[in-house]
Structure 1
Amino acid sequence: MPFFRYVVVLLLLLPIALFAQEDQKTFTVRYTNDILKIDGILDEPIWEMAESAGAFHQYFPSDTTLAAQQTDIRMLYNNTTLYIAIKLNTEGDDYVIPSLQRDYRAGGNDNISLLFDTFNDGTNAFLFGMNPYGVRREALISNGGSGRDNFTTSWDVKWQGETKLYDGYYVCEIAIPLTSFKFKQGETKWRFNSYRFDMQTNETSTWIKIPQNQLIYSLAFMGDMVFEKPLGKSRTPLALIPYTTGLISKDFETDASESKINFGGDAKVSIGNGMNLDVTINPDFSNVEVDNLVVNLSRFEISLPERRQFFIDNSDLFGSFGSQRDANPFFSRRIGIAENLDGETIQNGIIGGVRLSGKLTEDWRMGLLAIQTEADEANEIASNNNTVLAFQKKMFARSNLSFLFVNRQTFDEYDFLEETDRYNRVVGLDYNLASANNTWFGKFYYHQAFAHDIGSRNASGGFNLQYNSRYLNFGLNSNFVGNDFRSDLGFVRRQDIVAARPFVEINFWPTRGKLNSHGFRFNPNAIWRPTLDYQNTDYNIFSSWQAKFKSQEEIAVRLFNRYTFLTDPFDPTGTDGGTELPGDVGYHYTSYEVSFQSDRRRVFSYSLEPGYGDFYNGTRFVFEGDLSLRLQPTVFISMGVNYNSIKLPEPYESADLWLISPRINITFNKSVFWSTLVQYSNQLDNLGFNSRLQWRFAPLSDLFLVYNDNYFVNSFMPRNRSINLKLTYWLNI
């Protein structure tokens, strides 16, 4: 579809009337000169003077009544600190606490979360949370909290929090330095909300009333916290985070051993009230959790989430452009990895980098990221400068218009480097639509790529518009990726496509019985290839029924009617040297799936997802499952299983593919954590062990001991082994 049609659609949507939530709540945050002791005991008389933010609404199992177990929040502040006292009523003391480790997952256990939209833009927010045992978590919410990808717990900041258990309730007392936030000098209010999970009464509640068809951390539903005196200047102290690491490793395939000691570090500098400057020199990511392996039966690459701390803060400014499924122009995991001469993915060292990001004004955000990677001439890998520049302008209640410039370029001359690979640039615009009450949301975008001798089909664009209500949801996602569109720092799943993915969903909310909600979804999608005279090469007609029970179990039944036209030969089993299905042939196939998720509040919980049906010219049986055992609060054991039995007629390949992933997490206390993950995959011919011991000896300062071991599956011969000791220390100046 030509770009001007997207512009016309965008202009037609701009004047849509956007209505805010009806239930606007507010409370006053009193100013104090006192410095309060954080101990979970609210014995300071000044707490009696603080205004209450209470009357929590139930979100689950109903969203039409006040919460059965009420929560009372009070706040005070002085020139440096925001103090928070929370009283949470409970039925008893049988709390669900899976772990003592920071940044826990909130669902399925007892905890409370506080959301602060400090720039009152409905787009970004800081989250702080605690559970009854005083375990803390913090997170960043982006893009209005409109999707599950807009929530990241990888952000870290220093703050205090303690809890104390009483008969029939528990108390959280919190002190957050104002320097942990970003806000406008002289500000008199922030938008605020809080949500709470109470497992004993099987209740989820929120301060602001939120309908169940909306995500509980949506920034469309917030009240106001009004400061008694305007806030002063926010200036985060200079933070230096040096590290040292020692590594011993051996590659058994090449019989090469290595022992080395590295030094490096990060610096965090506050610029004004809204901007952060982050600097990294010789970063080391050896302590980052390993990726979960996946079974890939498609012809295309898959994306994995970013886990490295340096790339997390304000990551939505850089990484939320385009289509996350088909053509994301910037995907930070591209930086620091490369392919060697054998086509294998290897680590590519990062020399250093800077990131400047945050709020320029009330309506403007900016992000600038520049990373320099080192050369590896033995593997014909050039040194590259990787730069991303983004601007975002707030529009209407919660929408924004964003500009992106991505540049990957080498400035040195290399004999092995083709001229077409010396640089690649992408320029684009995205309009992100979000109504005030989040009933309408979506995006419109257009990006163009530049490189030496690039072809004329070098653009990517599309739109995604969705309507979300209590009973009816519908939408259309349509996009195109040109055959010459290229983004070396992005994730482009496939080129030369025009895709259309409409959907409609009808939901029901029974007032009686065991069901909380159930509904039907119809989601056809199709892909055409412009260079093949717009031949329809793929379609999938997806139909499903899903239900959620008041006891928190979930069940779903799914039907897939697929068509795939293979333009090239392909072996879905990935058998080394196997006979491939022929190209220029189309395949129709139908399959079914059933899934069940048990109540995660239980000591033992599980999920099951069997499926069976046609697969190209054969059949496929698939079983996915997960078992979890909670010996709270110290031990959490889980086992993931993925089994695919693919049967294709002779002479094509058949295979039984297994992915088994047991994991054990032990939290000895709130400072010492030990996690071990084993991953067996016969598709990847790998048995991997990753064991990580972490000691948080000071706030945000850690000692890591990480052991990695990998074996070939068939021969059980070792592949590579390493042990790493890393020390980081967070120093505020």
Structure 2
Amino acid sequence: MFKKVIYFLGLVLCSISTYAQDIEFKKIDVPVIIDGEIDEIWATADSAYNWMQYFPYDSSLAVNQSVAKVLYDDKNIYVLGIMYNATDDRIYVTPSLRRDFRGAANDNFTVIFDTFQDRTNAFTFGINPFGVRREGLVTNGGSGERSFSLDWDNVWRGEAKMYMGYWVAEIAIPLNSLRFNEGQSNWNVNFYRIDSESAERSTWAPIQRNFTLFNLASLNVAKWEEPTKRSGKNLSVIPYVSGNYNQNLEEGKDAQTGFNAGFDLKYGLTPGLNLDLTVNPDFSQVEVDQQVTNLDRFEIFFPERRQFFLENADLFADYGQRGTRPFFSRRIGVSRDESIGQNIESAIPLGMRLSGKVNDNLRLGVLSMQVSDNEAASLPSYNYSMVSIQQKVFSRSNISAFLVNKQTFESPKEYSDSLYNQWDRTVGVDYNLASADNKINGKIFYHYNIRETNIDSTFAAGMELEYSVPKWSLNMRSQMVGANYAPEVGFVRRTDIQQLAMTYRRRFFPSSGGVQRHGPGLDFDVLGNGTYGLLDWDMNILYDITWRSSAEFSMRLRRQYTYLFNGFDPSGTDGLALPANTEYTTNLIIARYRSDERKKLSYELSTRSGQYFNGMRWNLEGSIQWRYQPLGFTSIDFAYNGIRLPDPYNDANLFLIGPRFDFTFSKKLFWTTFVQYNSQIDNVNINSRLQWRFAPVSDIFLVYTDNYLAENQEGFIQFGGSKSRALVFKMTYWLNL
């Protein structure tokens, strides 16, 4: 009872204090012991208190208050988080003990450092009550979910302990793990907490609920007791060794074995500018891409996961719009074998990347990767290079310019004209707009693709503008893509188009009941060109609901028009194609529901059903997950597409089923098995990975992959023999020098 009185008395005291605060990094001479316990040294630290609620409301103090404290010495920044609960006896939620957790179902404490005070890019470090850690990067001001990535890794320490009525997080972040300028007096900082029991999300610096939880426009200021200094030489070497066994059973080829070794080197040329070198890189630890049922006429985008390309990735990858990117790093090391019509991997003997801050207002990115020739595909060796500069203007906006170059220095005599292309270049400029209060965001861009042969219409241009306040938001975007705009190192979903799109959303926030917010919206997207006129358009009536439990529902009623300028088989079975120069107007429903992820059993369901070209499509997709914390979870992803077309076109029943078993025996030992059955390609893929993190950011991997023939015979799946099999061993070690 006494503890509850003290707790609510603290809330009263907080409520009569001012919300706006600063915090100071105070220097200490003795390192903090990272054990999740509050030692006496923390009594000297400055505190961040009076945390505000972000969800479900953003206008009151958090019910479950928290306190953060900061200290530093010559080598580390230390952060303490004390997360109080309104009740003494409670159970915290985590899906597993695996690093880099994400989602509203995870109790966690996170710190955000905007080290250059540009309110555009930041580092995040988080930990949950079980001591599981995560680190990530925020780009583009944190203006959307895609601006927060957990793919970046670095070395730091953290521990957490649970107590009666609260839990404690203690963090030590090496100064060498961060990028910043010497002589700085201030950083921008925020802390946030997710509390699973109450589904409450709270922040130290208040953030409006129409923005993201990691929005960088709303940070508070952290002062340094002494100006920042560089700590040591900031040099890391990450060597690896790997061995592999591969067998193509379908073609009856002999098994192949191999051994490989290489390393990455990270060197801080200045506190803000980092040099990355890679020698004979190997990316076998990357998880297999999740398969999809492809009923699209255009290429599907898969995001980059390779660690080498991730830090400061926005300097290279964020030009243009999502479907029109002049640089896409997954093109590097992947070539097209036209003889078999498939993508194949090519070796990368050497790569270099220089990226970061030159000064407070100028960022620089330089990348060069050498890819070996591929004799089997008759492809020469290519160099992939990019230079990117970004100059800050006004409070949070910037102007960016780039040059991408793909070039071979080998003679064309050894290659056929259809395969040999000496060089391909793309240049461009983007203006990225972000207002000081984050209400207005947008961009304008113009890119030009330069070829060996002089042809026209090799450009892409566009704009986007979004205005967002708590009660409503408006997004408008348009682009023009030339008929011959085809950067070989880019991702361009469609060419020869003119596009205009708009989305309007209205939000209501009930003062009582189980709904946190809801509201309608309108959306349209129109594409056309000078040759065919209208190509595609859709108009949508939207409605979104978010519950205080964090469950979500969204629905749109769509009327859609499609013009086929090429023949296309909508059944996805390589059947008779619908003829070119035909048009279709259809009505369909698109809906999605995600349940309360705090429950042990959670699920997500979606549908895209209704009229489909000249027939009907019945679609159900989703995932079901059972959590047995803290050991892990079992889930199953599934997709069904029932397509009914009039004769003589094919009907289809396409299934995609993917059970996943994820066991985290400890915070260092993980085992994941992922099975994928795809009836569209008659394949069952098994990928099983054992990972042991034997030292910070240092791992041993054992990965087994098998592919089996699987045919659907009158509703029953008939399994054939193995088509291919592979076994990979890999060890990496992160060494700070």
TM range (shorter): over 0.9
Q: Aligned-pair distance for 1:594?
A: 3.0
- Read off the aligned partner of 1:80 and give its amino acid letter: K
> Which residue in 1 is equivalent to 2:10?
none
Matched, 1:181 2:185: no
Do the aligned partners of 2:81 and 2:109 also contact (CA within 8 Å) in 1?
no
**Which of 48, 70, 75 in structure 1 is aligned with 2:70?**
75
> Which residue in 2 is equivalent to 1:528?
528
Matched, 1:39 2:42: no
Do the aligned partners of 1:521 and 1:543 also contact (CA within 8 Å) in 2?
yes
> Which residue in 2 is equivalent to 1:13?
none
> Which residue in 2 is equivalent to 1:172?
169
Do the aligned partners of 1:526 and 1:538 also contact (CA within 8 Å) in 2?
yes
> Which residue in 1 is equivalent to 2:8?
none
> Which residue in 2 is equivalent to 1:28?
24
Quick one: distance in 1 between partners of 2:396 and 2:30?
A: 37
> Which residue in 1 is equivalent to 2:656?
659
Secondary structure in 2 aligned to 1:317?
Answer: helix
> Which residue in 1 is equivalent to 2:46?
51
- Read off the aligned partner of 1:727 and give its amino acid letter: M
**Which of 263, 266, 291 in structure 2 is aligned with 1:268?**
266
CA displacement 1:79-114 (0-9 Å, x = unmatched): 111111111102333000111111111421110111
Q: Aligned-pair distance for 1:494?
A: 1.1
> Which residue in 1 is equivalent to 2:421?
421
Identity of aligned residues (%): 41
Structure 1: where are the runs of 5+ without partners?
1-21
Secondary structure in 1 aligned to 2:32?
Answer: coil
CA displacement 1:614-656 (0-9 Å, x = unmatched): 0000000000121010000002111111110010100011101
TM-score of the two chains, using structure 1 as the length reference: 0.95
Matched, 1:622 2:619: yes
Relative to 1, partners in 2 of residues 1:233 and 1:150: Cα closer, same or farther, differing over 3 Å?
A: same
CA displacement 1:582-603 (0-9 Å, x = unmatched): 1111100110133221100000
Matched, 1:94 2:98: no
Matched, 1:321 2:328: no
> Which residue in 2 is equivalent to 1:517?
517
- Read off the aligned partner of 2:417 and give its amino acid letter: E
Secondary structure in 1 aligned to 2:349?
Answer: strand
Quick one: distance in 2 between partners of 1:628 and 1:106?
A: 14
Do the aligned partners of 1:454 and 1:484 also contact (CA within 8 Å) in 2?
no
Do the aligned partners of 1:110 and 1:199 also contact (CA within 8 Å) in 2?
yes
- Read off the aligned partner of 2:723 and give its amino acid letter: R
Quick one: distance in 2 between partners of 1:646 and 1:245?
A: 45
> Which residue in 2 is equivalent to 1:379?
377
Quick one: distance in 2 between partners of 1:339 and 1:611?
A: 32
**Which of 707, 728, 735 in structure 2 is aligned with 1:731?**
735
Matched, 1:722 2:726: yes
Q: Aligned-pair distance for 1:24?
A: 4.4
Relative to 1, partners in 2 of residues 1:593 and 1:486: Cα closer, same or farther, differing over 3 Å?
A: closer
Matched, 1:353 2:351: yes
Secondary structure in 2 aligned to 1:652?
Answer: coil
Q: Aligned-pair distance for 1:486?
A: 1.6
**Which of 228, 234, 245 in structure 1 is aligned with 2:225?**
228
Q: Aligned-pair distance for 1:48?
A: 1.1
Structure 2: where are the runs of 5+ without partners?
1-17, 712-718
Do the aligned partners of 1:185 and 1:234 also contact (CA within 8 Å) in 2?
no
Do the aligned partners of 2:408 and 2:422 also contact (CA within 8 Å) in 1?
yes
Quick one: distance in 1 between partners of 2:411 and 2:232?
A: 43
Identify the range of structure 1 (186-195 vs 99-108) with the bigger mean alpha-carbon deviation. 99-108
- Read off the aligned partner of 1:704 and give its amino acid letter: F
Quick one: distance in 2 between partners of 1:47 and 1:594?
A: 50
Secondary structure in 2 aligned to 1:220?
Answer: helix
Do the aligned partners of 1:424 and 1:486 also contact (CA within 8 Å) in 2?
no
> Which residue in 2 is equivalent to 1:474?
474
Q: Aligned-pair distance for 1:64?
A: 1.1
Q: Aligned-pair distance for 1:557?
A: 2.2
CA displacement 1:171-220 (0-9 Å, x = unmatched): 11111111111111011111001111101122110111111111111111
Matched, 1:394 2:399: no
Quick one: distance in 2 between partners of 1:236 and 1:180?
A: 11
CA RMSD of aligned residues (A): 1.4
Quick one: distance in 1 between partners of 2:416 and 2:425?
A: 17
1:635-674 to 2 correspondences below 5 Å:
635-674=632-671
Identify the range of structure 1 (362-371 vs 469-478) with the bigger mean alpha-carbon deviation. 469-478
Identify the range of structure 1 (353-362 vs 594-603) with the bigger mean alpha-carbon deviation. 594-603
Secondary structure in 1 aligned to 2:124?
Answer: strand
- Read off the aligned partner of 2:195 and give its amino acid letter: D
1:429-440 to 2 correspondences below 5 Å:
429-440=429-440
1:282-681 to 2 correspondences below 5 Å:
282-325=280-323, 327-340=324-337, 341-414=339-412, 415-418=414-417, 421-532=421-532, 535-576=533-574, 578-681=575-678
CA displacement 1:4-33 (0-9 Å, x = unmatched): xxxxxxxxxxxxxxxxxx974311121111
Do the aligned partners of 1:73 and 1:85 also contact (CA within 8 Å) in 2?
yes
Do the aligned partners of 1:433 and 1:443 also contact (CA within 8 Å) in 2?
yes
Quick one: distance in 2 between partners of 1:551 and 1:303?
A: 32
**Which of 144, 149, 153 in structure 1 is aligned with 2:146?**
149
**Which of 210, 216, 221 in structure 2 is aligned with 1:219?**
216
Secondary structure in 2 aligned to 1:379?
Answer: coil
Q: Aligned-pair distance for 1:330?
A: 0.4
Q: Aligned-pair distance for 1:235?
A: 4.8
Quick one: distance in 2 between partners of 1:706 and 1:695?
A: 12
Quick one: distance in 2 between partners of 1:696 and 1:115?
A: 25
Secondary structure in 2 aligned to 1:613?
Answer: strand
Secondary structure in 2 aligned to 1:378?
Answer: coil
Do the aligned partners of 2:244 and 2:729 also contact (CA within 8 Å) in 1?
yes
TM-score of the two chains, using structure 2 as the length reference: 0.94
Relative to 1, partners in 2 of residues 1:142 and 1:235: Cα closer, same or farther, differing over 3 Å?
A: farther
Quick one: distance in 1 between partners of 2:39 and 2:321?
A: 52
Do the aligned partners of 2:683 and 2:710 also contact (CA within 8 Å) in 1?
yes
Q: Aligned-pair distance for 1:676?
A: 0.9
Relative to 1, partners in 2 of residues 1:337 and 1:569: Cα closer, same or farther, differing over 3 Å?
A: same
Deviating 4+ runs (over 4 angstroms)? none
- Read off the aligned partner of 1:299 and give its amino acid letter: R
Q: Aligned-pair distance for 1:542?
A: 1.9
Quick one: distance in 2 between partners of 1:536 and 1:234?
A: 59
CA displacement 1:496-526 (0-9 Å, x = unmatched): 0000001211111111222110111211111
> Which residue in 1 is equivalent to 2:15?
none
Relative to 1, partners in 2 of residues 1:331 and 1:24: Cα closer, same or farther, differing over 3 Å?
A: farther
> Which residue in 1 is equivalent to 2:277?
279
Relative to 1, partners in 2 of residues 1:386 and 1:23: Cα closer, same or farther, differing over 3 Å?
A: farther
Give the number of equivalent residue pairs: 707
Quick one: distance in 2 between partners of 1:727 and 1:409?
A: 33
Q: Aligned-pair distance for 1:237?
A: 2.6
Do the aligned partners of 1:67 and 1:205 also contact (CA within 8 Å) in 2?
yes
Relative to 1, partners in 2 of residues 1:25 and 1:417: Cα closer, same or farther, differing over 3 Å?
A: farther
Quick one: distance in 2 between partners of 1:513 and 1:531?
A: 54
Q: Aligned-pair distance for 1:236?
A: 5.0
Q: Aligned-pair distance for 1:530?
A: 2.6
Q: Aligned-pair distance for 1:417?
A: 4.3
- Read off the aligned partner of 1:382 and give its amino acid letter: P
Do the aligned partners of 1:186 and 1:233 also contact (CA within 8 Å) in 2?
no
Matched, 1:84 2:83: no
CA displacement 1:320-354 (0-9 Å, x = unmatched): 000112x1000110111112221111212111100
> Which residue in 1 is equivalent to 2:11?
none
- Read off the aligned partner of 1:73 and give its amino acid letter: A
Matched, 1:691 2:688: yes
Identify the range of structure 1 (28-37 vs 65-74) with the bigger mean alpha-carbon deviation. 28-37
> Which residue in 1 is equivalent to 2:102?
105
> Which residue in 2 is equivalent to 1:3?
none
Relative to 1, partners in 2 of residues 1:364 and 1:462: Cα closer, same or farther, differing over 3 Å?
A: same
